[in-house]
Amino acid sequence: MSYNTFGQLFRVTTFGESHGPMIGGVVDGCPPGIRLSLAAIQAEMDRRRPGRSRHTTQRREPDAVRVVSGVMEEGDGLVTTGTPIALVIENVDQRSKDYSNIADRYRPGHADYTYDAKYGLRDYRGGGRSSARETAVRVAAGAVAREVLSGVTIRGALVEMGGDRAEGRDFSIVDDNDFFAPDAAAAARWADRLDAARKAGSSLGAVVEVVAEGVPVGWGAPLYGKLDQDLASAMMSINAVKGVEIGDGFAAARLTGEENADEMRAGPDGPVFVSNHAGGVLGGISSGAPVVVRFAVKPTSSIRTPRRSVTRGGEEVDVSTTGRHDPCVGIRAVPVGEAMMAIVLADHFLRHRGQTGC
Amino acid sequence: MSYNTFGQLFRVTTFGESHGPMIGGVVDGCPPGIRLSLAAIQAEMDRRRPGRSRHTTQRREPDAVRVVSGVMEEGDGLVTTGTPIALVIENVDQRSKDYSNIADRYRPGHADYTYDAKYGLRDYRGGGRSSARETAVRVAAGAVAREVLSGVTIRGALVEMGGDRAEGRDFSIVDDNDFFAPDAAAAARWADRLDAARKAGSSLGAVVEVVAEGVPVGWGAPLYGKLDQDLASAMMSINAVKGVEIGDGFAAARLTGEENADEMRAGPDGPVFVSNHAGGVLGGISSGAPVVVRFAVKPTSSIRTPRRSVTRGGEEVDVSTTGRHDPCVGIRAVPVGEAMMAIVLADHFLRHRGQTGC
Amino acid sequence: MSYNTFGQLFRVTTFGESHGPMIGGVVDGCPPGIRLSLAAIQAEMDRRRPGRSRHTTQRREPDAVRVVSGVMEEGDGLVTTGTPIALVIENVDQRSKDYSNIADRYRPGHADYTYDAKYGLRDYRGGGRSSARETAVRVAAGAVAREVLSGVTIRGALVEMGGDRAEGRDFSIVDDNDFFAPDAAAAARWADRLDAARKAGSSLGAVVEVVAEGVPVGWGAPLYGKLDQDLASAMMSINAVKGVEIGDGFAAARLTGEENADEMRAGPDGPVFVSNHAGGVLGGISSGAPVVVRFAVKPTSSIRTPRRSVTRGGEEVDVSTTGRHDPCVGIRAVPVGEAMMAIVLADHFLRHRGQTGC
Amino acid sequence: MSYNTFGQLFRVTTFGESHGPMIGGVVDGCPPGIRLSLAAIQAEMDRRRPGRSRHTTQRREPDAVRVVSGVMEEGDGLVTTGTPIALVIENVDQRSKDYSNIADRYRPGHADYTYDAKYGLRDYRGGGRSSARETAVRVAAGAVAREVLSGVTIRGALVEMGGDRAEGRDFSIVDDNDFFAPDAAAAARWADRLDAARKAGSSLGAVVEVVAEGVPVGWGAPLYGKLDQDLASAMMSINAVKGVEIGDGFAAARLTGEENADEMRAGPDGPVFVSNHAGGVLGGISSGAPVVVRFAVKPTSSIRTPRRSVTRGGEEVDVSTTGRHDPCVGIRAVPVGEAMMAIVLADHFLRHRGQTGC
């Protein structure tokens, strides 16, 4: 039972608010003897960092991660000791006054009203705990998880923005454009679209795809420990995500049994799949094929266009949200989705090893 | 950590295989003093029961539930005592020989290969633990969860089959047709489609929608205890499910921020939402609006049409699956989806009460 | 979070009341491919079974265990499949009328008052869920756990009764006397003492010792996953247990640092300990030395001698408990303590393997 | 599942090593709206802080706690928001060179060998994660837990040192002497004993008692969620603890049933107990009587007197531990024991409220 922990054997607990002095997390259960590179962790952080382009929030956060426990120095790097790895990130660029005008009013699409109703009070500064700032910690923890997963490659991309789909799937170019787009033409189109939306005081939704290659057959479990179940849980735990699908997902519901069944052939190292409608998971267990997840991110709720709402006191008002916001939160959700994929896979790797010894 | 338990404070642990003597489950954490009606539990079981129409498997299971612990008799019913409620269902109509021909071959779309690779052995009888038979226990546990949720109404429907969507949403008629369709015209069309598919040795996918009305504002938690996260996990844990969405789901990714933001007005008992794109969840916490979940069910993998596959020994073969199967497993997933909604909500009700005393 | 589950990776969930139709449990997380012998499980059950001698309750229960899931037949035995193992035991010899006179009064030393205050109602039939009958399920689950622990030998004994300590520690004779005594002289003395207590309408307390040999170095974890912490939790979860100690336990608090420190010498397979004050656990992790646990069992609360108490309605009354009871519940706690040792060790074996791959 | 988290609904996760830059923890599940006083937290820290007298280690740590998340300022204090409360304590007085001579040798009584065998490497600096320094975080978290428990008073005392028992139980004087002794005469005797032990390069064990008054009837659960089970787990998780008992504990095993049964009388607010052999727990559930726990702390393993041991490489050596150590770690375990009592009770308060709504 927990509200701020994800995972079972590879567990990530996060803390911190957007406007507190720091955010951070604890990775518990990481195997000992794993080499960590601070530079590699930081490189992942930089991908998610705000202010990378005009298409994300202009908040300036260096997002410098300190690893304050669970490691020893070894050579020019760090090695895990098997004890909890604490990751600490200072908040540098808080601006509390930006938010003072919304302390008392419920922004539509935000968690303002639900928080207040649940807890009887609400940390209105920068969204408090519901700020996407927390996802920085996920990325740091995900970078640790990647090191646990030798042989597994995890790549993400934005595959749709504002209803406009990327046709290509060239993961090698995702870090070369402002959108993590796997298709240069789509990136170009999206730049125009998002500029227009931002200028109009509006925002756009998006779809993210994350693919893990090299996952061996056998991770996951039949029922309530399904690999795809935990992937769905992981992705839905990301701010603004409203849908998750594995493999063909909703499109699979429109196929016939013949179309959908991934046929198998004998390969040199065991069965191989001729197709991958299943997205690498059968019966909750990895099949050896690439694990494919997509998730839908709603358009940013913070928009300048006024929307009708109510105040804490029950008065009807119009709310328009100024300040620094991502016009499409889906963009920066790409490295977050990769991180959650890594965390889920590291967890299932350890769970599988625990039960079966493999 | 668990492989066969779902939930935190309202916990359901299931056991049993399709071809063992019985299946069952333990509901732990149910509050004391809740009145249970065996007839009401059985009525839910009957909705999921095989053989209700020609459109589901012809296996004959009475699915009679025995409540063997956790209750005392009170008046003409049962009342929970706060101790674990064990639910036991005997398997009656196993036919082991139906499956003998697939003991050694991996059926495409099934978990045969992944089980075998994971565990080093596989209970090939009726799919063993991966059989949808386990969902009978979920329905029984869900019937208990419903009693915990006074004031909440949970209703499910099949809203799409084989790519053909139901236009209507008349939940009052779902038990009057063979498909749990909320639209009589759709039910009529689907009957023809499914007859054709069955005769062709094929199968169809489907989409299920479950709606909970009466959920108060405040259930859920911001990050890794999000209500929608647990709903995604719950639905993805159901056999053959490949996608889950909350509210507008993937369609929300195609809206602008203005379109997607559910505006609020002052109501007599607090804020009310003018629309419900969010599906009743904001920031992981229920908003008081109806909680809306949809999930995609792939077409049944057991089809008569031969598919290419391999044997345990690595030999290439063709596999066609005869025997008794649902031509569209999505149909019977409707009461299962409702049950999972009830279980998640009961869990979050208790979690919320634990943390805040409300 | 759970009220009726013990363990993390090797998890035991139990259900059932003393006077319901059956008791049982689910073992989740057991590795696949473990051979189980029903006869071996039953042999453990028979050691705990009531009515083995005049020194235990005369309730007649065959305690026949059925394994209804999670196994396949292989040769003349069973083999685990990696899915949940459900264990079911029918209650045969309930006598509800024995208890009718205490439905309304709180027996001193029993959980009657605390249950009633907690749950607002109470299953007075045979103590309901607080009956030691539940421990039968622990013994069955422990028998499964033993099979997971190849190379580990777990032995228990009653080492003190009514303040009279056994001097010897000959574990080979514990099944040859009515007390699981490791010392024949003590067994003879205890027979007289317990006959006298029973005739006087009284009862006696006892101390149980459980020793596990063959546990390799490295199981457990530094802080909140300490092996000894979980052993303490396991033993304290047994009915009527009021104290737990590891190695020298409370006596260690009376030693000096020099006396208490177990010196090490180089052995052929690594360090060996010259003494074992620590009871095989250092810093929460097994040291390779025998793991030694002792726990104190209070005298049976069900006594014929009248004690002052109150009724549900608040009236002062005298209560004397007739019916079938163990005059010393510590005796039958011996196989239960062994079972809990096995469950804790199996759990830590899997946890260690999960984190470190060893 | 976790290695560094304690509790279910009130959860404490700790991180940090003795010689890293900081230690800290995350309290998850704390109810919102609880007022916290930093001064009150710090006052608890000061009780555990090293260097309070000549009888504890001379390491100088201010142990200043920062609350970096989960609170908002309100008036002159803090109020919890329901989100995770992160507590951070900087390490100030590390001296790495003190430990360089033991990097390669296994100190008897310490976790050096078991860590190394488990993880394949070991943070030898100050004991790494097995240092008692981690208990500072428990005290901080316990101070938060106390605020959750309105109406409950938790007091601890050292009741035995080196085999010499305190006769009195005057909790009002425990903060007036260097030993948390509830008996001034004992404190005077212990000062002499401990001076002698320290000068001789030796160390002493001790017994701590913690009592909680004001716990209402009904917290806990019958089987694997027993209040006393979790107290045993909590106390055994403290460094150097080797035994735990509730109420009369091991002495109860020497009483008859008549002596041990706590009789009840009718009181103005329900049943009252005439005696408290049970230590406030019946059937795993609080009875309304004071909850009484005692735990045994072994003598400090770090002693100057040489002991025989082996090196990492398998060479036999003599080890004597110089540096700054507590000659009796039991002393500073008193506030730690109180903190763990508070954490367990806060957890069970929330669990009880979740299940029953009380």
If you write DSSP's letter for every residue of D233-254 in order, what string do you get?
HHHHTSTTEEEEEETTGGGGGG
D236 touches chain C (CB under 8 A): yes
Q: Do A120 and D85 touch (CB under 8 A)?
A: no
Question: CB–CB of C230/D233 below 8 Å?
Answer: yes
Question: CB–CB of B50/B91 below 8 Å?
Answer: no
Is residue B307's pLDDT more than 90? yes
- Comparing CA positions, the residue from C6, C23, C56, C9 lying closest to residue C235 is C6
Q: Indicate the SS3 state at residue D161.
A: strand
Per-residue pLDDT, D127: 75
Q: Using pLDDT thresholds of 50, 70 and 90, give the confidence band for residue A130.
A: confident
* Cα–Cα distance for residue pair A152/A28, rounded to 1 Å: 21
Question: CB–CB of C78/C72 below 8 Å?
Answer: yes
Compute the 3-state secondary structure of chain B and give helix, strand, coil in percent, each to the nearest 5: 35, 25, 40
How many beta carbons lie within 10 A of that of residue D310, not counting itself? 22
How many beta carbons lie within 10 A of that of residue A154, not counting itself? 22
pLDDT in tens, chain C (358 residues): 679 999 999 999 999 998 899 999 999 999 999 999 999 999 999 999 888 888 988 778 889 999 999 999 988 899 999 999 999 999 988 765 556 667 889 999 999 999 999 999 877 777 788 888 999 999 999 999 999 999 999 999 999 999 999 999 999 999 999 999 999 999 999 999 999 999 999 999 999 999 999 999 999 999 999 999 999 999 999 999 999 999 999 999 999 999 999 999 999 989 999 999 999 999 999 999 999 999 999 999 999 999 999 999 999 999 998 877 899 999 999 999 999 999 999 999 999 999 999 8
Q: Which of A119, A223, A283 sits opposite B356 (nearest CB)?
A: A119
Amino acid making up residue C52: R
Q: Using pLDDT thresholds of 50, 70 and 90, give the confidence band for residue D200.
A: very high
D9 touches chain B (CB under 8 A): yes
* Cα–Cα distance for residue pair D60/D63, rounded to 1 Å: 9
Tell whether A172 is in a known binding site.
Answer: no
Q: Indicate the SS3 state at residue C82.
A: coil
**B20-48 residue pLDDT tens:** 999 999 999 999 999 999 999 999 999 99
Average pLDDT score over residue span B221-246: 97
* Cα–Cα distance for residue pair A237/A12, rounded to 1 Å: 13
- Comparing CA positions, the residue from D137, D187, D138, D141 lying closest to residue D166 is D187
Average pLDDT score over residue span D127-140: 91
Is residue B98's pLDDT more than 60? no
Tell whether A300 is in a known binding site.
Answer: yes
Per-residue pLDDT, B102: 72
Q: Indicate the SS3 state at residue C224.
A: coil
How far from each other are the two terminal CA atoms of chain A, in whole angstroms? 28
**D290-312 residue pLDDT tens:** 999 999 999 999 999 999 999 99
CA dihedral B19, B20, B24, B26 (to 10 degrees): -130
* Cα–Cα distance for residue pair C302/C319, rounded to 1 Å: 10
**Structure token digits, residue A133:** 């700032």
Per-residue pLDDT, A57: 85
Sign (positive or negative) of CA dihedral D43, D47, D48, D51: positive
Q: Which of C9, C28, C72 sits opposite B4 (nearest CB)?
A: C28
Give chain A's radius of gyration (CA, Å): 21
Residue corresponding to tokens 């893990």 = A212
ipTM of the complex: 0.97
Identify the top-confidence range among A44-58, C46-60, D136-150. Answer: D136-150
Q: Tell me how close the Cα of C19 comes to any Cα of chain B, in angstroms.
A: 9
Q: Indicate the SS3 state at residue A132.
A: helix
C283 touches chain A (CB under 8 A): no
Q: Tell me how close the Cα of A245 comes to any Cα of chain B, in angstroms.
A: 4
Question: CB–CB of D255/C82 below 8 Å?
Answer: no
Question: CB–CB of A121/B294 below 8 Å?
Answer: no
Spacing of C-alpha A173 from chain mean position: 19
Q: What is the DSSP string of B241-272?
A: EEEEEETTGGGGGGSBHHHHS--EEEETTEEE
User: Which residue positions of C form the known binding site?
Assistant: 48, 54, 129-131, 239-240, 283, 298-302, 324
Residue of D nearest to A117 (CA): D32
Per-residue pLDDT, D311: 94
B84 touches chain C (CB under 8 A): yes
How far apart, in Å, are the Cα atoms of C221 and each of B71, C30, C283, D8? 39, 20, 8, 19
**Residue C100: which residues within 8 A CB-CB, separation 6 or more?**
none
Share of chain A above pLDDT 70, in %: 98
Interface test with D, best of A8, A17, A87, A230 (most D CBs within 10 A): A17
**Structure token digits, residue A81:** 């000791």
Q: Tell me how close the Cα of D69 comes to any Cα of chain C, in angstroms.
A: 23
Per-residue pLDDT, C103: 80
**Residue A251: which residues within 8 A CB-CB, separation 6 or more?**
none
Backbone angles phi, psi at D86, to 5 degrees: -95, 135
Average pLDDT score over residue span B169-192: 97
D33 touches chain A (CB under 8 A): yes
Spacing of C-alpha B169 from chain mean position: 19
Is residue B1's pLDDT more than 80? no
Residue of A nearest to C356 (CA): A31
Kindly state the helix (H) or strand (E) to which residue B212 belongs, with its residue range: strand B206-213
Tell whether D240 is in a known binding site.
Answer: yes
Chain D residues in contact with C252 by the CB 8 A cut-off are 205, 242-243, 296, 298-299
**Structure token digits, residue A112:** 């303002």
Per-residue pLDDT, B19: 86
Helix B329-356 vs helix B135-148: angle between axes, to the nearest 10 degrees? 40
- Comparing CA positions, the residue from C32, B220, B127 lying closest to residue A284 is B127
Tell whether D48 is in a known binding site.
Answer: yes
Amino acid making up residue D78: L
**Residue A118: which residues within 8 A CB-CB, separation 6 or more?**
B217, B218, B219, B220, B285, B352, B356, D32, D82
Per-residue pLDDT, B57: 85
How far apart, in Å, are the Cα atoms of A124 and each of A97, A106, B43, B271, D156? 11, 10, 47, 18, 40
**Structure token digits, residue A268:** 């040199």
Q: Using pLDDT thresholds of 50, 70 and 90, give the confidence band for residue A58.
A: confident
Chain A residues in contact with D69 by the CB 8 A cut-off are 15-17, 20, 22-23, 129
B11 touches chain D (CB under 8 A): no
- Comparing CA positions, the residue from D186, D155, D189 lying closest to residue D172 is D155
Residues 165-224 of D with CB under 8 A from C: 197, 202-207, 217-224
- Comparing CA positions, the residue from C103, C106, C52, C158 lying closest to residue C310 is C106
Average pLDDT score over residue span D191-202: 96
**Structure token digits, residue A97:** 């006054």
Q: What is the DSSP string of A159-224?
A: EEETTEE-----GGGGGGSTT--SSHHHHHHHHHHHHHHHHTT--B-EEEEEEEE-PPTT-B-SST
Beta bridge partners of A243: A296, B245
Q: Tell me how close the Cα of C190 comes to any Cα of chain A, in angstroms.
A: 44
**Residue A97: which residues within 8 A CB-CB, separation 6 or more?**
none
How many alpha carbons fall within 13 Å on the CB side of residue D271?
A: 30
- Comparing CA positions, the residue from B157, B155, B156 lying closest to residue B186 is B157
- Comparing CA positions, the residue from B159, B147, B168 lying closest to residue B296 is B159
Of residues D79 and A95, more confidence is placed in D79
User: Which residue positions of B form the known binding site for NADP(+)?
Assistant: 48, 54
Beta bridge partners of C160: C165, C207
Per-residue pLDDT, B127: 75
**Structure token digits, residue B333:** 């997933």
Is residue B153's pLDDT more than 60? yes
Beta bridge partners of A295: A208, A244
Sign (positive or negative) of CA dihedral C108, C111, C115, C118: positive
Q: Using pLDDT thresholds of 50, 70 and 90, give the confidence band for residue B335.
A: very high
**A224-283 residue pLDDT tens:** 999 999 999 999 999 999 999 999 999 999 999 999 999 999 999 899 999 999 999 999
